């Protein structure tokens, strides 16, 4: 089964996995696909359109392996969101060689933000970052 983003953006989706959730993001670059993958993860957590961009989180890491970089990106976002009790809804990412710099915007959890699925982390299961049909695809299974 393959489902696309419910918000009509079409840049992320989900695939079947027995116990957890498969996420995938697409973009014109690996970085754009990673941003879409982050949207897929956090759309499981809450309605992205309801999250106000009141606080910014900065993410920086070094990773030469693009597939491992996806896992690091998603897990760092999840860790910062959990540590700061934030709902995240917007993301940006750039890369210079093996140095990745990202940002996320969100707000503290509040009444009115519906909590969805609790995502524990991104895993190596189903991990793939590749260019297909002119677009980059970034996918993995997240532990819920």
Is the separation of the CB atoms in 71 and 82 below 8 Å? no
What per-residue confidence (pLDDT) applies to 2? 43
Strand duo 12-15 + 21-27: pairing: antiparallel
Per-residue pLDDT reduced to its tens digit, 64-101: 999 999 999 999 999 999 999 999 999 999 999 999 99
User: Could you tell me the pTM of the whole model?
Assistant: 0.91
| Structural domain total, the chain | 1
Token look-up 């982390």 returns 121
Predicted pLDDT at 10: 52
Q: What is the pLDDT of residues 30-61, one digit of tens each?
A: 999 999 999 999 999 999 999 999 999 999 99
CATH code of the domain covering residue 23: 3.55.10.10
* Burial class of residue 47 (count of CB atoms within 10 Å of its CB; 0-12, 13-18, 19+): middle
In the predicted model, is pLDDT for residue 1 greater than 70? Answer: no
What integer pLDDT is reported at residue 15 of this predicted model? 82
User: Can you give the pLDDT at residue 7?
Assistant: 46
Does the structure show a pLDDT above 60 at 5?
no
Give me the domain span that covers residue 100: 2-143
């Amino acid at each position: 089964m393959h489902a696309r983003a419910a918000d009509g953006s079409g840049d992320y989706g989900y695939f079947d996995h027995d116990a957890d959730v498969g996420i995938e993001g697409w973009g014109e670059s690996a970085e754009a696909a990673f941003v879409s993958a982050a949207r897929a993860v956090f759309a499981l957590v809450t309605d992205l359109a309801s999250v106000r961009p009141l606080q910014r989180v900065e993410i920086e890491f070094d990773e030469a392996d693009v597939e491992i970089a996806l896992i690091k990106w998603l897990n760092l976002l999840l860790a910062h969101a959990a540590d700061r009790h934030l709902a995240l809804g917007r993301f940006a990412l750039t890369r210079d060689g093996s140095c990745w710099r990202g940002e996320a915007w969100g707000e503290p959890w509040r009444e009115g933000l519906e909590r969805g699925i609790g995502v524990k982390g991104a895993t190596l299961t189903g991990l793939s970052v590749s260019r297909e049909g002119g677009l980059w695809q970034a996918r993995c299974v997240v532990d819920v």
